[in-house]
Amino acid sequence: MSEPLLLSQTELAQLLRVSSRTISRMNASRKIPKPVRVGRSVRWRRSEIEQWVTIGCPERSEWEARWESES
């Protein structure tokens, strides 16, 4: 079975080995990449999270500047 392209909050928490509540806090304080909305669901792009971790988990503003310049 292949890896999902989009991660739920629970899946992201499992991937990063933190609690779902920690993901909520990190999102509210802009410490993780911005999620995307799929209908009423909130999801994170797996590829974006993997790249974010690779470069050291910068805060959202720094990440967005890098992400946009690479896209």
Q: Are 67 and 33 in contact (CB under 8 A)?
A: yes
Residue type, 62: E
For 68, the enclosing helix (H) or strand (E) is helix 60-70
pLDDT in tens, 8-25: 999 999 999 999 999 999
Name the pTM for this structure: 0.88
Residue positions counted in the chain: 71
Say whether pLDDT at 1 is over 70. Answer: no
Helix (H, G, I), strand (E, B) or coil at 45: strand
Q: Are 10 and 18 in contact (CB under 8 A)?
A: no
Helix and strand totals (H; E) in the chain: 4, 3
